[in-house]
C-alpha cells in the first residue's frame, strides 16, 4: 500500500489515502507503522477517507494505537495531501473528524502546491483550575477542551518543565481515564509565548495544534496574550487568532517528508 509521511512543525504522521477498502486492525497498524526502529516512524497514523458530510474524512490514531479525536497539525497536512495530489482543486475545504467537521483554508505557493494551512479550530471550553502535586511541588493546571482534552500549566522556564515525567504521571491519574494532553506554557510577550507538550499516546512531541490552541485560549482569557499571538513549539511556530465569534484560527506549515510502498 502506498503511504506518505508528512509533518507539521515536526508533528509527523503516516498518511494513507483509502478511497476503497480500509486496512484491518487499524490500532495494530498504527503501532507498527509508527515504530521509529521497526516501522516508518511517526507520532501516529492518519487515514484520508471519503465523507458523506464534508470534502474528506480524517481518521487518526496515536503511536500507541489509541484513536484520537482531532489533530491540528495532522489536519493541515491532510489539506496539503489532497490538494497537492489533485484530489481537489478547492482551497477552502471541510474535513470531517471525530470531533466534528473543520473548515480549512489553503495558501498556495507559486509552484501550485500548499505552503500553509489555516484551520478553524472552533471554540475552547475552559474549566476551573486544578492543583496537581508532583515531586514536592504543586502545579496549577487549567483543563481545556479543543476537540481533544488538555491540561495547561504556566511556567517560568518551559525548558525546565517536567514534561515527560509529570506528563506520564497524569496519564495514570484516575481523573483522566481516557488520557490527557499536557501543555506547559511560558509567556515572553503579550504576542509571543513558547510551549512544550506531552501528548497522550505519543509522549512529548515537537508540536500539538490543539494543544497550542488550548494554551492560547487560557492565556488570552487571562489577558496574558493578545487575541492574535504566535506560539513557539519545539518544531516551529503557529499563528493563532481569536475571532469575534469565539473560534480560534490556527495557521501553520504542512510538509511532505517522503513517500513509499509498504506491505500491510
**CA 205 to chain centroid:** 10
Q: Which residue has the cell 495530489?
A: 85
18, 71, 153, 213: which is the annotated catalytic residue?
71
DSSP state of 17: E
Query: Whose grid coordinates read 502546491?
Result: 113
- Is 77 annotated in the active site? no
The total of other beta-carbon atoms located within 10 Å of residue 30's CB is 28
Q: Which of 77, 153, 208, 213 is catalytic?
A: 208
* Burial grade of 111 (CB within 10 A; 0-12, 13-18, 19 or more): exposed
- Let me know if 71 is a catalytic residue: yes
3-class DSSP assignment, residue 235: coil
As beta bridge partners, residue 198 has: 182, 204
Which residues participate in catalysis according to the annotation? Answer: 71, 208
Amino acid at each position: 500500500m502506498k503511504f506518505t509521511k508528512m509533518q507539521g512543525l515536526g508533528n509527523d504522521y503516516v498518511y494513507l489515502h483509502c478511497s476503497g477498502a480500509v486496512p484491518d486492525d487499524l490500532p495494530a497498524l498504527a503501532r507498527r507503522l509508527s515504530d521509529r526502529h521497526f516501522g516508518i516512524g511517526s507520532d501516529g497514523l492518519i487515514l484520508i477517507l471519503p465523507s458523506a458530510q464534508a470534502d474528506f474524512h480524517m481518521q487518526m490514531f496515536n503511536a500507541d494505537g489509541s484513536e484520537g479525536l482531532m489533530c491540528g497539525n495532522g489536519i493541515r497536512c491532510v489539506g496539503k495531501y489532497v490538494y497537492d495530489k489533485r484530489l481537489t482543486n478547492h482551497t477552502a475545504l471541510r474535513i470531517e473528524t471525530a470531533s466534528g467537521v473543520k473548515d480549512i483554508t489553503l495558501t498556495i505557493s507559486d509552484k501550485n502546491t500548499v505552503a500553509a494551512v489555516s484551520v478553524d479550530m472552533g471554540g475552547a471550553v475552559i474549566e476551573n483550575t486544578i492543583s496537581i502535586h508532583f515531586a514536592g511541588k504543586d502545579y496549577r493546571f487549567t483543563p481545556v477542551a479543543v476537540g481533544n482534552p488538555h491540561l495547561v500549566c504556566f511556567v517560568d522556564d518551559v525548558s525546565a518543565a517536567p514534561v515527560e515525567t509529570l506528563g506520564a504521571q497524569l496519564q495514570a491519574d484516575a481523573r483522566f481515564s481516557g488520557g490527557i494532553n499536557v501543555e506547559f506554557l511560558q509567556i515572553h510577550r503579550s504576542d509571543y509565548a513558547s510551549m512544550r507538550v506531552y501528548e497522550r499516546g505519543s509522549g512529548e512531541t515537537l508540536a500539538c495544534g490543539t494543544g497550542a490552541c488550548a494554551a492560547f485560549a487560557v492565556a488570552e482569557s487571562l489577558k496574558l496574550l493578545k487575541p492574535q499571538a504566535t506560539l513557539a513549539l519545539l518544531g516551529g511556530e503557529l499563528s493563532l487568532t481569536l475571532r469575534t465569534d469565539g473560534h480560534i484560527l490556527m495557521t501553520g506549515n504542512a510538509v511532505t517528508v517522503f513517500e513509499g510502498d509498504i506491505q500491510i
